Structure 1
Amino acid sequence: MPATTIPGATTVSSLEAHLAVPAGEGPWPGVVVVHEAFGLNDDTRRQADRLAAAGYLAVAPNLFGAGGVRCLRATFSAMLAGEGPAFGDIEATRTWLAGHVDCTGRVGIIGFCLGGGFALGAASRGFDAAAPNYGRLPRNAREILVGACPIVASYGGSDPTLRGAAGKLESLLTELDVVHDVREYPGAGHSFLSTVEGPAASLMKVVGLGPHQPSADEAWARILAWFDTHLRRPAS
């Protein structure tokens, strides 16, 4: 799958991204894939490729650029605040994808870890569906999530960094009358949807991170069913 660049970004003149295109002829619904704290790596590319295999035009922008750890701090702060240049980059990506010749114009967003927080923060900003995975709630989540698109969210019950996050999000989305499906998987920790294998996966498990296949399989089934309902079918 090809690398591409997205114009109109806030932090750089053009945003590096991974574009995953389904087989056959489009147009297809689009999905913006927001990476975790490790940046646009092979794990994120595989998540985008999985969405393409399911029939979605998926693009994963690199929100870090060449900024490294310094950029990570600024990006994480923007996610918690619900505002900042990174949201401008996500909006540029959504606009580019919606206008792509192979896109139907309906666009969802999915994110993992850091990206899960951004998927929550961007859910009320023009997207048609959102799938935040183990995403931290923004500080002003109540204000940010007013008018949000339908949200399918997944958390690990054994994730010590996000204790109670699923319950808080469930209550908040119910209060705000946002269509949602929030699930917490008891046997899963943080990053349970990761595709990392081998020694890296074993090391992650030692500290309670990394893949948990039964939970990942169920979460992906819910995500794809959600996108099928809210992206592939015409809006009601």
Structure 2
Amino acid sequence: MMEQFKIGHSHLDSELESILILPGGEGPFPSVLLFHEYSGLNTVIIGHARRLAANGYAVLAADFYGLKNRPATLDEAQVTHRIYRNDRLLMRERAAACFDVLKAQPQIDPFCIYALGFSFGGGVALELARSGAGLKGTVSVYGYLDTSHPASVGEIKCPLMAIHVNDDPVVPEEHARMFEAEMRVAEARYELIRLDNAHHGFANPEDNGFDPQLAEDMWGQVRGWMEKQNPGTNAPGF
């Protein structure tokens, strides 16, 4: 039976409260560090986490902003997310603090942790990978592809998959080209999957661009890619 817990932790002067969701059965479980969109830790990201957990993954839905900084409106979210979008080293530090919390959970396999993020969270996941974190793999779904600190050779330790929406006004083509050039220079293992006829936010049921069929297709791609990184995992996919 699935279990859900609040995990209190801190980083710098922020008190954070992330959500840990465990699948049924006995661990240690493969796990996912899940980063939310710019709107913050909400029911959408918890729904993503529960989907993952229902299929065998322990999931930490990371509270990136903190209890006192959770935006009540999208206008507030625009301001809050810019703190980290404009300071990528701070973004990496906050992501690493959340990664440490997940690694410390006794129910998880510390050698099989994936990072997954959507939009803002996809950018966070990629920055964590650029920092050299010991991840099994990193997935970005319509996430930010630009960075102020491009990776050098050998800095990225895990394979990456980025699902990118062509003609995305949030993540422009220029950033996709910059990302591919960066990955080549860094000699990283990566896949950039480009989607036509899609909108930024297609996996978010509360977004005007939500596309349920594209969202299902995306989950299938993520499942297959994660299974490829860890053949023989007990997690059956989602």
**The TM-score by the shorter chain falls in which range?**
0.7 to 0.9
Matches within 5 A, 1:1-236: 1-13=3-15, 15-65=16-66, 66-67=68-69, 68=71, 73=79, 75-84=81-90, 86-105=91-110, 106-125=112-131, 126=133, 127-143=135-151, 147-148=155-156, 149-164=158-173, 165-196=175-206, 201=207, 204=208, 210-231=209-230
Question: Quick one: which amino acid aligns to residue 7 of structure 1?
Answer: H
Contact 1:131 1:152 in 2 (8 A): yes
Aligned-residue sequence identity (percent) comes to 23
Question: Quick one: which amino acid aligns to residue 64 of structure 1?
Answer: Y
Deviation per CA, 1:100-136, whole angstroms, max 9, x where unpaired?
1110102111111111111111113312211111122
TM-score (norm 1): 0.82
Gaps of 5+ in 1: 205-209
1:158 to 1:217, Cα distance in 2 relative to 1, 3 A: farther
Deviation at 1:152?
0.8
Deviation at 1:82?
1.8
Q: Write the distance in 1 (CA, Å) between the matches of 2:154 and 2:212.
A: 33
Contact 2:38 2:77 in 1 (8 A): no
Contact 1:29 1:231 in 2 (8 A): no
Q: Write the distance in 2 (CA, Å) between the matches of 1:37 and 1:118.
A: 11
Gaps of 5+ in 2: 234-238
Q: Tell me the residue number matched to 1:207.
A: none
Superposed CA RMSD in Å reads 2.5
1:142 to 1:134, Cα distance in 2 relative to 1, 3 A: same
SS in 1 for 2:192: strand
Q: Tell me the residue number matched to 2:236.
A: none
The answer to which of 173-182 and 105-114 deviates more is 173-182
Aligned residue pairs total: 221
1:192 to 1:70, Cα distance in 2 relative to 1, 3 A: closer
TM-score (norm 2): 0.81
Deviation at 1:230?
2.7
